Structure formats: structure tokens, C-alpha cells
Structure 1
Amino acid sequence: MTPGARISAAIEILNTMADGVPAEQALTRWARGSRYAGSKDRAAVRDHVFDVLRQRRLAAHLGAGETGRALMIGVLRAQGVDLGPLFNGQGHAPLPLSEDEATVADARSDPAVLWNLPDWIIPLFQASLGARADTVAQALQSRAPISVRVNTAQASVANVAQALAEAGIETRANDLCETALTVTAGERKLRNSDSYLHGDVELQDAASQAVVAALPAGTRMLDYCAGGGGKALAMAARRDVSVFAHDIDPRRMIDLPARAERAGATVKQLETDALEGAAPYDVVLCDAPCSGSGSWRRSPEGKWTFTASRLEELTHIQDKILDHAATLTAETGALAYATCSVLQSENEDRAAAFVARNSGWKQVFSQRFEVDSQGDGFFTAHFKRV
């Protein structure tokens, strides 16, 4: 596909999404109907679509519209791309710009456009982040770094970095966590590399790794909201530890057995009814369902579909998870809470509310991880019994 044809494909997908089709579904539909598109073409088209989602309000302003074509014009303008060679009508490229489309809109200074956030979220960003709100909002508009966790139960960070380099995958050390390497080139070779196939590395955000690294020692550790099981696998890389994984929807953990086998790890999955029978646990980590606002650059559609009512619902869910997890924690154990959110209402407020409801507990640790070139935005807090 030519660069112009890739733009046309992205426009088609964005128009499909305008009819209410989620981004991933729209991308899958297009790929199935476009067998001629190679892996590089599909990746490039996907990047175009996600660039629009990260900067939708700015794209709509600079493109003077909400259609797929207008949004692509706007986001390419924001990137400083010369539109002429791409919009020339040749082959499968979009038609040339009309006179109106060729007129560039004035720059905007309001936060809604510059921060590319829904109006209702902006006050929450300001209240939660203070002077850092602008920096975080801007960071969420860029592509996220790709990081791997080195499985130190099998290999050293230095040896893995060298093996990846020999496979054409360049990495750099990540300051957030000793086990983290950020991929700087060759990321599409990663899943076929020996390091990945042999379980020496797992794709995992560096801040997510740091959340696990900050957990205190314990011989019995529970990943209460395991999802795909990335944090459970990170726990299992520790020596002399028994790791348990639970999720309210066990289907989310469907790939965990294969991932654990590849990593040479043992993770016992527990249904909800089996949690208490296996308790107590020395460490219980609750990576709770949240807005995902700290990782919106990876899933940018989320910030446009997220609502105030959903935020309120999530805070109630987070409270219930902490209260139940506390009953599973050993008398001298540690309860840990984490979100990939930057919102105070999901982070510090939930930690304070837990202590206020449970006088027998105290908070002993908390840390925020910023959205930056190292990793996603995360929050974590630890609690112990008084």
C-alpha cells in the first residue's frame, strides 16, 4: 500500500467508528476485508487511527470537522505533515483537498483542545495533578513506550539485552524498575524472538513492573484482580514464593497457563469461591478496575467513552475490592492497592476511604508514577494492620 492508500484506509475505519463500532472491531473488519494489506500496512493504518484517537479534539479543530477525512487532515496537520503528496487522488489515495479543506484553522488555546480530553474530565485532571496536569495531558497524546520485563528467574537483564540486540531488537535500561527494558527499535520482531518464546521476557509496562517490585516480601502472594496475569507472573519470578491469581471473570486469565509455562513459573488460579479456603495470604495485590486514565495513550478510545457515572461506579467497586481483600490478608501481611489511573478519586481518595472505614488498618506506603517516556501513569498504596 502507498502512504496515500494507508490514509484512505484510516479514513474508512474512522468513518466506521463514527457509526458506533469500537476501534478494535473496526480495524479487524477492515483487515479481514483487505487481504492485500501486509503486516506493515496494517500497523501503519492502526497507528493513523490511534493517532487520531489520542488527539481527536485537536484533529477535529485543525481538520474543521468530525468525518474520518477531516480528522485525518487535522491529525496530519498537527504532526506537520505535507498533505499534498498524500491527498492527490492517485491510485487509492484520498482526493485532493478542497479550497475549504486547504484553509488552516487558527490555533486554539483552550485546554479541551490542547489537552484532548472531554470537558468533564478537565477539572478532575486539574484537581488531581495540579501543576502537572498539562504535562500529563500532553504525554497522553503521544505513543506509549514498549517495555518488557526480564524474567530474572531464568535470565539476567544484561544477557537478555544482548540476546535481543543480536535478534535486531534494540533496548535501553528503564529507570522505573530494574527488570524493565524499553524497546527502542525492532519491536515487531519481539514476539518471534527466542527471548520471548523461551519466556525470558514478557511485554509489560515499566510502571506496572515497579508496582510489583515495590511489594513487600511474602511466601504466599495473591494477585486479586489478575486480568491477563502480568503482575502474577512478575510475582512468580521471586524466589521461594507461592503465587495465586484470581479474577472475577476467569476468562480474562485464559492465556495465563501458557504464559506461566513459557516463563517456567507456577501460578495457581483461584475461582472466587476458593479464595477464602486458600487464605490467608502474606501479600494481596488489588490492581483494581479503573478509568485507565494513566494508560489512555495505549487505549485512547477509552477517554472518549468514559463517563462520570462510570467513574462513580468504579469507586464503589474499588472500595468493595479493598474491603474483601483485607479479609484475605494474613494478620501480619500486607494489602496493596493499585490503579493505572491519574485521578485522585480513584487513588488517594480510595486509600483514605479504606483507612477511614477500617480502623484496624493503616497506610504505610504510597507512590505515583507519572505518564512519561518511561512508563504509564500508576498509583499504588500499601496497608498493614495496626
Structure 2
Amino acid sequence: MTPGARVAAAIEVLDRICAGEPAEKALTNWARGARYAGSKDRAALRDHVFSVLRCWQSCAARGGGETGRALMLGALRDQGIDPDDLFTGDGHAPEPLTEAERVLGEPDAAAMRDLPEWLWERFQASLGADAEAAARALRTRAPIMLRVNLRRAARDEIIARLLDEGIVARPVGIAQSALHVIEGERRIAGSQCYSEGWIELQDGSSQAAMDAVEVPEGTRVLDYCAGGGGKVLALAARIEAAFFAHDAAPSRMRDLPARAARAGVKVRCVDRPEGRFDLVLCDAPCSGSGTWRRTPEAKWALTPDRLTELTEIQAQILADAAPLVTVGGQLVYATCSVLNEENQFIIESYSSNNPGWSLVGMQQWPISDEGDGFFLAQLRRDC
């Protein structure tokens, strides 16, 4: 496909999204009808679509509307690309610009934040002077981060092995196991390093948060909201302990046993946690506001009512998990959110209503070149 044809395909997919079709479904449906498209074409199309999703408001302002054509026009202008080079009408490229489309739109300050107006108020309340920087960061691509399985090899050794497979990665300071992939990210899943459990895809802030959790040798550890199991695997790579994983939707843990075996660690998946645990991790469902570079569609789907619903779920998860912690043990609460409602306010409310617990520590990681926005709080059960 030519660059112009890729833009035309992105316009088609964006029109489907504008009509209410989820982005991943729209991309999949397009690919099924375009057997001629190669892997590079599909990757380029995905990049176009996600660039628009991250910057919907500013793209609409620069392109003069919220159709697929207008949004792609705005996205190209945002990237400093002359639309006339791609809107040529030749072959499968989009038709040339009209006179009306040649009038340059200029987004105002609010549009350049690319956040719903009601959400911007929450960002300011939560992040203060850092709110503008966080909003700007969410307009960009997230870094591709790897966690080195330090049980298997040192970080420098893995860098060399990855390079042999055409993957360029560099160490970063956010976590001792973290690598930032600079080149060859689409080779990761098929690499020997991945298949043999030397690396896992995991955000840098998530790695740093798990490094911050103290896990004594020989204890019982429960990941109460395990999902795919990335965090319990990170903990298990650090220390010898008995690791258990639970999720309200057990199907989310479907791949965890195979991942654990590949990494050389033991994690037992349980439908109903039994007994007490020295550490219970609650990586609670949240808005994901710290990860919207990766899932930008969620930024526009979040509503005030949904945020309230999430905070109620988070409070209930803490209440349900707390009885599983032994006296002297820790209840660890985590989210990939940057909003106070899902972070500090949840912990403050729990602490004030449960006097038998002490706050051991609370940390927050910003949206950065090495990781997503992330929050971690550690509570100790005193009695």
C-alpha cells in the first residue's frame, strides 16, 4: 500500500469508530476485508488510528470536524506533514483537499490538552502544576518496556541477546529489571528471549512499584486482582515465597500458568483464597488514566458516573481483601490511575474507617519516558 492508501484506510477505520464501533474491532474488520495489506501496512494503519485517538480534540480542531477524513487531516497537520502530499486522489489515496479544507484550524488551549473538559478539572485537582505535563504526555506514544527475569540472566546479558535477535534495548533507571526497547519491538513476541522466559512485557512504573513492595522470604503472597498475572510474576522473580493468584474473572488468568512455567516460578491460581496471607496485593480496576497512551479510547469513554462506580468497586475490593491479611501482614493497593479519587482518597477513607491498620508508605509515579502513571499504597495490619 502507498502512504496515501494507508491514510485512506485510516479514514475508513476512523469513520467506523465515529459511528460507534470499538477501535480494535474496527481495525480487525478492516484487516479481514483487506487481505492484500501486509504487516507493515497494518502497523502503519494502527499508528495512524491511535495517533488520532490520543489527540482527538486537537485533530478535530486542525481538520475542521470529526469525520475520519477531517481527523486524519488534523493528525497530519499535527505531525507537521503536508496533507497535499497524501490527499492526491491518485490510486487509492484520498481525494484532494477542498478549498474549505485548506483553511487551517487552530486548536485552543483546551483542545490541545486532549482531555474531556470535566476530566481536566480532576487532573488539575489531582496533579496540580504537573497536570499540563501529564495531559501532554498522554498525547504521545508510550514507551515499549521489558522486564528482565533476573532469575534467569543479568540485564546486560539480555541486552546482548536481544540485539542478536534484532531488538535494540537500553537499561533505564526506573527499575533494576527495566529495559526500554528502541528498535525491533514487533520482534519481541517471536524472540527466543521471550519464549524462554528471559523477558516479559511490563511497564516501567509497574516494575518500580513491585520493586517497592517488600516480600519476606518464605511468606504467603496473594495477588487478589491478578488479571494476566504480570505483577505477581514480577514479585515471584525477586524472592522465594508461596505465590497465589486470584481474580473475580478467572478466565483473565488463563495464560498465567504457562507464563509462570516459562519464567521458572510457581504461582498457584485459586478460585477462592483460603487462610491468611502475609501480603495481599490489590491491583484494583481503575480508570487507567495513567495508561491512556496505550488505550486512548478509554480516555474518551470515561464518564463521571463510571468514575464513581470504579471508586466504589475499589473500596469494596479493599474491604473484601483485608480479612485475608494476617496480623503484621501487608495490604498493598495499586492502580494505574493518576486521579486522587482512585488513589489517595481511597486510602484515606479506608484508613479513617479501619483503625486497626497503619499506612506504611504511599508512592506515585508520573507519566514519563520510562513508565505510565502509577500509584501504590502499603497498609500494615496491626491487630
- With normalisation by structure 1, the TM-score equals 0.97
1:261, CA displacement in angstroms? 1.8
1:165, CA displacement in angstroms? 1.3
Q: Which amino acid aligns with 1:385?
A: R
| 1-structure distance, mates of 2:53, 2:106 | 21
Change (3 A) 1:307 1:107: closer
- Whether the aligned pair in 2 keeps the contact of 1:145 and 1:374 (CA below 8 Å) is yes
Whether 1:302 aligns to 2:298 is yes
Q: Which residue of 2 aligns with 1:289?
A: 285
1:88-122, CA deviations, whole angstroms, 9 ceiling, x for partnerless residues?
Answer: 0111110111001011023423x2x0110011101
| 2-structure distance, mates of 1:212, 1:315 | 22
Whether 1:190 aligns to 2:162 is no
5 Å-filtered alignment, 1:96-175, equals 96-109=96-109, 111=110, 113-175=111-173
Q: Which residue of 2 aligns with 1:253?
A: 253
Q: Which residue of 2 aligns with 1:5?
A: 5
| 2-structure distance, mates of 1:208, 1:106 | 37
Q: Which amino acid aligns with 1:62?
A: R
Q: Which residue of 1 aligns with 2:223?
A: 223
- Which one of the candidate residues 198, 207, 210 is aligned to 2:208? 210
Whether 1:85 aligns to 2:85 is yes
- Whether the aligned pair in 2 keeps the contact of 1:288 and 1:338 (CA below 8 Å) is yes
| 1-structure distance, mates of 2:18, 2:203 | 30
| 1-structure distance, mates of 2:317, 2:129 | 31
Whether 1:242 aligns to 2:242 is yes
1:239, CA displacement in angstroms? 3.0
- Whether the aligned pair in 2 keeps the contact of 1:206 and 1:374 (CA below 8 Å) is yes
Structure 2 gaps, min length 5: none
1:143, CA displacement in angstroms? 0.1
- Whether the aligned pair in 2 keeps the contact of 1:224 and 1:285 (CA below 8 Å) is yes
| 2-structure distance, mates of 1:105, 1:232 | 48
| 2-structure distance, mates of 1:360, 1:26 | 50
1:191, CA displacement in angstroms? 1.2
1:180-219, CA deviations, whole angstroms, 9 ceiling, x for partnerless residues?
Answer: 1010111111111111110100000010111111111232
Runs of 4+ in 1 over 6 A off after TM superposition: none
Q: Which residue of 1 aligns with 2:372?
A: 376
| 2-structure distance, mates of 1:254, 1:213 | 25
- With normalisation by structure 2, the TM-score equals 0.98
Structure 1 gaps, min length 5: none
Q: Which residue of 2 aligns with 1:312?
A: 308
1:336-378, CA deviations, whole angstroms, 9 ceiling, x for partnerless residues?
Answer: 0000000001000011011011110011101110001010000
5 Å-filtered alignment, 1:304-343, equals 304-343=300-339
- Whether the aligned pair in 1 keeps the contact of 2:155 and 2:177 (CA below 8 Å) is yes
- Whether the aligned pair in 1 keeps the contact of 2:54 and 2:293 (CA below 8 Å) is yes
Q: Which amino acid aligns with 1:181?
A: L
| 2-structure distance, mates of 1:223, 1:174 | 26
